[in-house]
Amino acid sequence: MTATLADVGIALGRVAFVMLFVLNLGGLMTWVERKQSAIMQDRIGANRASIFGFRIMGLLHPLADAIKMLTKEEFYPARADRVLFSLAPFVSVFFALVAFASIPFGDTLRVAGREVPLQALTFNVGILYVFAMLSLGVYGVMMAGWSSANNYALLGGQRAAALMITAEVAIGASIVGVVMVYGSLNMMDIVRAQGPLLGGWLPKWGIVTQPLAFVLFLTAGIAATKRIPFDMPEGESEIIGYFVEYSGMKFGLFVMADFLETVVISGMTVSLFLGGWQIPYLEPAGFVFPWGATVALPGLAVSLLQVGAFVLKVVVMIWFLMLIRWTLPRFRYDQAMRLGWLGLFPLSIANIVLTGAALLLWGAR
């Protein structure tokens, strides 16, 4: 294997795009969270941070937050396990950050005789990779809960563990239906397989072929982000939860991890159920509409449109998840467990059986 400078550059570029995309979205989400909740509650929302009088709709608040959190005192509880206490927020953020790596953000790009897959890591079993990284993130929360030497934090850590196992089983079981329909564990192949049209006009997106799995996956995915309605590990109004002893940027990292997980769940939902980078009727040579009209486009424009479509879809999904979060009703711990084990899990298994039967009957692939 000979790696030229261009190859290394391309690889770095792919990684940098995903990294900056996820990090920036995560940072922007603190702003979206404030502004969207403000709009939903008929308030104005954060708008005071300014540089030389420029406020740009409160967009400077994430910056102000970062400065404030970095300059705050680092507090360690007296009987805390210092190593684990310091390590926990980084574990949380790390796995949330790397999970996005095998989600494709565009079709394979062909430039100057090279094939550049538009995803950071081209795993043959990419869907399992994302799933694995999501499931490892919970260790950060559990370590935080345990090392704080605080009963409320411990309670939060235990709830997080229970919630994560519940959500993970449902996520795993609901993905199986999608994998069966599109016949691959490779995220790129799954997105590509969502391109063909059903009956000549309906895109073969996951939400069309697997509507039940979509609902189950989204519900379990929201549970995996640990945000309202599934915020028992945190429980602002009852136990405060696993990060009760944290201050400064370490606390900020936990909040960031939740945001990043929301981005990852959005990316997963878009890739598995909403066609990923696919735009309906857009083919490699341009638009081909079912009523016969065609619009020819150069290859690079098609690629740019696809990347744009992916970003737009992810942002819309994030908006939707925010909408759910700020309608505020939340599950009690036992209710969430019941929903997970008696609702989501059996339905996911039923979905697998149904999908298998349908594939056997129609043989559609």
Partner 1 sequence: MPLAVFLVVAAVAVASALGLVLKRNPIHGALFLIVNLGSIAVMYLTLHAQFLAWAQVIIYAGAIMILFVFAIMVLIPGKEETGPDPLRPVRLIAIPFGALLLVELVLMLVSRRAAPVAAVPAPGGVEAIGRLLFTDYLFPFELTSVLLLAAMIGVLALAKSRKAG
Least spacing, CB of residue 98 vs partner 1, in Å: 12
Least spacing, CB of residue 246 vs partner 1, in Å: 17
Stretch that binds partner 1, among 16-24, 160-168, 195-203, 264-272 (CB under 8 A): 160-168
CA 98 to chain centre: 11
Number of H helices, E strands in the chain: 13, 7
Does the bond joining 229 to the residue before it have cis omega, within 30 degrees of 0? yes
* Residue 97 binds to partner 1 (criterion: CB under 8 A): no
Check if the beta carbon of residue 116 is closer than 8 Å to that of residue 10: yes
Q: Closer CB to partner 1, residue 48 or residue 365?
A: 365
Q: Closer CB to partner 1, residue 230 or residue 310?
A: 230
In terms of C-beta density within 10 A (0-12 exposed, 13-18 middle, 19 or more buried), how is residue 32 classed? Answer: middle
* Residue 132 binds to partner 1 (criterion: CB under 8 A): yes
As a three-state string, the secondary structure of 136-183 is HCHHHHHHHHHHCCCHHHHHHHHHHHHHHHHHHHHHHHHHHHHHHHHC
Least spacing, CB of residue 185 vs partner 1, in Å: 6
Query: How far are the Cα atoms of 30, 44, 94, 237, 319 from residue 35, in angstroms, in the given order?
Result: 9, 7, 27, 22, 11
Least spacing, CB of residue 257 vs partner 1, in Å: 16
* Residue 15 binds to partner 1 (criterion: CB under 8 A): no
* Residue 161 binds to partner 1 (criterion: CB under 8 A): yes
Q: Would you state the structure tokens that stand for residue 360, as one six-digit string?
A: 């056997």
Stretch that binds partner 1, among 21-29, 132-140, 237-245, 339-347 (CB under 8 A): 132-140
Least spacing, CB of residue 352 vs partner 1, in Å: 15
* Residue 162 binds to partner 1 (criterion: CB under 8 A): yes
* Residue 352 binds to partner 1 (criterion: CB under 8 A): no
Least spacing, CB of residue 361 vs partner 1, in Å: 21
CA–CA distance, 331 with 233 (Å, rounded to integer) = 11
The single-letter DSSP state of residue 98 is H
CA–CA distance, 217 with 137 (Å, rounded to integer) = 18
* Residue 23 binds to partner 1 (criterion: CB under 8 A): no
Residues 6+ apart with CB under 8 A from 198: 204, 208
Quote the Cα angle for 35-36-41, to 5°.
Answer: 100
* Residue 135 binds to partner 1 (criterion: CB under 8 A): yes
Stretch that binds partner 1, among 41-49, 103-111, 155-163, 261-269 (CB under 8 A): 155-163
Stretch that binds partner 1, among 126-134, 195-203, 204-212, 307-315 (CB under 8 A): 126-134
* Residue 264 binds to partner 1 (criterion: CB under 8 A): no
How long is the chain?
365
* Residue 79 binds to partner 1 (criterion: CB under 8 A): yes
CA–CA distance, 307 with 314 (Å, rounded to integer) = 11
Q: Closer CB to partner 1, residue 139 or residue 214?
A: 139
* Residue 89 binds to partner 1 (criterion: CB under 8 A): no
Q: Is 297 helix (H, G, I), strand (E, B) or coil?
A: coil
Strand-pair partners of 51: 54
Least spacing, CB of residue 195 vs partner 1, in Å: 22
* Residue 349 binds to partner 1 (criterion: CB under 8 A): no
By CB under 8 A, the residues from 166 to 195 that bind partner 1 are 168, 172, 185
Least spacing, CB of residue 303 vs partner 1, in Å: 26
Query: How far are the Cα atoms of 13, 135, 152, 244, 256 from residue 91, in angstroms, in the given order?
Result: 25, 12, 21, 17, 12
Quote the Cα angle for 151-152-156, to 5°.
Answer: 115
Contact residues toward partner 1 (CB under 8 A) are: 79, 84, 123-125, 128-129, 131-132, 135-136, 138-139, 142-143, 145-146, 149, 151, 154, 157-158, 161-162, 164-165, 168, 172, 185
